Structure 1
Amino acid sequence: MSLAESVVDVTVLIVAYRSRRTLPKALAALEHQTVSPRSVRILENGSPEGEGVEGAQVPAGYELLESPVNLGFAGGNNRLAEDASGEWLLLMNPDCYPEPDWLERLMQAAAAYPWASLFGSTQYADGGEGHLDGLGDVYHHSGFFYRGGYGRVLPPPTDGEVFSPCGAAMMVRRSLFEGLGGFDADYFCYGEDVDLCFRARLLGHRAVQVAGAVVVHEGSASSSRYSDFAVYHGVRNRAWTFFKNMPWLLLLFSLPMHAALTLAHGLVCARRGQGRLYLRALRDACRAWRNVRAKRRRILSGRRVALGTLARAMSWRPLDPIRRRPVIREIPAGE
């Protein structure tokens, strides 16, 4: 049987919150893949009345779970992964519309790059006329991270290594996800994908951005990019990721720039009327220091990757976080 006719060893995980409008289109695109996943699991994640997913929207053979409360993107995916089987977990946002060969391209990449444990998709903005939604997540050495190429029109990408795939359309080995304990559920939403991949990189795992695995992503379908919710969780979780995962030498070197960019970003938020919210996010990040420190000790005690290798996976150009320059490193010949 050819790959194009097969069922592949993948479980698709979809966390749906206020997704009644977008999920049918996403599932229709999933139904028309050139290869079929072994299973699809959907979580109705505590949506308000009238905005949640109903059983009639879910195709036969797909599994629908329900949570009475919102577990967040992190906790929701952890819940879906608990009883999942198969070699691969494929995270897919309910407002993500994959091209028909999306899954097949990801599986071809997994076969071509057996040393990689995480794979990302080329994301275009829905209705964006060629504008990118992202080419993987970039981790700047300052501790700021961003979706590479977001909002830009760029030449077609090629396969390459990225710091982290974007969780909107990311494939990860199930054994790795389980070994890491899944997403950090304290994050709730935003940055949990970068945190997961940072922890994976500390163990020596690598991530590949797959050029031909294309999805169209509506984005911000359940919360606005500049909403108080997004800003609060983004700021708090960014600080946690930096102080939880960054080895001491890199942390001390990068701390001045981290402080400078934190101040600059705070001023931008203040101009939008979110200054107090920004300070509250930083305060809450600091209040959790004991918990963050305990996690840091546990994570860094198991570090297996050389400091130079980790540093080379990051971005070091000062303006990259502002310009959202994608960082996709060439895969060495023979790998």
Structure 2
Amino acid sequence: MSDSQQEIWPKVTVAIVNWNGERFLDRCLSALLAQTVMPHEIILVDNASTDASIEIVRRFSSVRLLAQNENLGFAHGNNLAIKAADVESEWIALLNPDAFPKPRWLEKLLSAVRDYPEFDVFGSKLLAAADPDVLDGAGDAYHMSGLVWRMGHGVPVSSFPEQVREVFSPCAAAALYRRSALVKMGGFDENFFCYVEDVDLGFRLRLAGYRCIYVPDSVAYHIGSGTTGGKHNNFTVYHGHRNLVWTYVKNMPGILFWLLLPLHLALNLVTIIWFSMHGQGLVILRAKRDALRGISRIWGMRRNIQKHRTASIGEIWNVLDKRFLPRWLQIRRIIS
């Protein structure tokens, strides 16, 4: 019997939200069922797929299928899975259907839970599925302007540090969350539908005193935007850039909100110019227009979030990326 089989591991529910991901599901679910530490349960929320997704899921008898009548989005779908998880599961692992975990993915996350008990959120190393020598992401960064990106995205694996380290938030394509923390924060913001919702959740968790660590030994191959048509189509541009504004307005605490607001406004101006120059002026303007239309509702949410904030301004300032010119070069990767 292996060491991983002998150890008593905490129970984990793995949640997958799928929409028309039939070309990925067999590989994703097969990889989950080949883990050295098996999940307590696997819940797949299908958002009214019109392809053969449901037929594929039904081939895996151990997967609990929650089929929806409409596309509820990534945020709402994950919230459904979190609420439906067995009460015995102390942890919730999120996995995208276009993410394919290596056999020790979950074991390494749970080993980190054991070794770093002061952390409540754990992010995996994502490798580009098309070229495993290239990183897809090593945790999410949040710039003081409100710009977000996956650290290491697109760089050779060999050139990126391998150490366990604290990060702002995980990419929810493959991540582990303490269930009680998710419940306390109310899960994902369903107004976001999809994109940047994991960074928003990560920010709210930070404000509440929870911390996130990157676990490089926990590895998954990731395609990225596999079911939404690519990282720079109109759908991803619209949701990503609308949600960037809402994430900043909701979460940037206290005096930092006002001090950094000029940078955030500059970020939005730069993105409008950049996407307009690349033929997507109408969609980026619609994203910013709708972001502004939602400000009243988002500001109301901000009041509640900041009222219950336990992290100090200094603690939040310390985890923001404060580099300026190098990070403005990341504009093209805002929603990658």
TM-score range, shorter chain: over 0.9
Equivalent of 2:16, from 14, 17, 22?
A: 14
Residue in 2 aligned with 1:210? 215
Equivalent of 1:247, from 237, 253, 264?
A: 253
Residue in 2 aligned with 1:303? 309
CA distance in 2, matches of 1:58, 1:118: 31
CA distance in 2, matches of 1:51, 1:225: 24
CA distance in 1, matches of 2:196, 2:57: 32
Given the two structures, how large is their TM-score scaled by the length of structure 1? 0.93
Residue in 2 aligned with 1:24? 26
1:24–1:57 CA contact under 8 A, matched in 2: no
CA distance in 1, matches of 2:56, 2:270: 46
Aligned-partner SS, 2:40: strand
Aligned-partner SS, 2:323: coil
Residue in 1 aligned with 2:334? none
Equivalent of 1:165, from 165, 170, 191?
A: 170
Q: Report whether the alignment pairs 1:127 with 2:130.
A: yes
Residue in 2 aligned with 1:329? none
Deviation beyond 6 Å, 4+ runs, structure 1: none
Residue in 2 aligned with 1:44? 46
Q: Report whether the alignment pairs 1:278 with 2:284.
A: yes
More helix by share: 2
1:19–1:53 CA contact under 8 A, matched in 2: no
Cα distance change of structure 1 residues 320 and 15 upon mapping to structure 2, 3 Å threshold: farther
Residue in 2 aligned with 1:185? 190
Deviations 1:26-63 (A, max 9, x none): 1111111111110000111112x235332555412220
Q: How many residues align?
A: 324
Residue in 2 aligned with 1:117? 120
| Post-superposition offset of 1:298 | 0.4
Amino acid aligned to 1:274: Q
Residue in 2 aligned with 1:293? 299
Residue in 2 aligned with 1:236? 242
Residue in 2 aligned with 1:59? 60
Aligned-partner SS, 2:26: helix
CA distance in 2, matches of 1:56, 1:119: 27
Residue in 2 aligned with 1:196? 201
Equivalent of 2:151, from 148, 153, 160?
A: 148
Q: Report whether the alignment pairs 1:34 with 2:36.
A: yes
Cα distance change of structure 1 residues 26 and 80 upon mapping to structure 2, 3 Å threshold: same
Aligned-partner SS, 2:141: strand
CA distance in 2, matches of 1:231, 1:169: 22
Deviations 1:161-219 (A, max 9, x none): 00000010010011111111110000000011010110111111100000100111011
Structure 1, unaligned stretches of length 5 or more?
326-335
Cα distance change of structure 1 residues 27 and 56 upon mapping to structure 2, 3 Å threshold: closer
Amino acid aligned to 2:311: V
1:184–1:192 CA contact under 8 A, matched in 2: yes
CA distance in 1, matches of 2:318, 2:109: 25
Return 148-157 or 278-287, whichever deviates more.
148-157
CA distance in 2, matches of 1:64, 1:56: 7
Residue in 2 aligned with 1:4? 4
CA distance in 1, matches of 2:149, 2:121: 18
- Measured on the aligned residues, the alpha-carbon RMSD in Å equals 1.6
Structure 2, unaligned stretches of length 5 or more?
332-336
CA distance in 1, matches of 2:105, 2:68: 29
Amino acid aligned to 1:142: S
Equivalent of 2:142, from 139, 147, 150?
A: 139
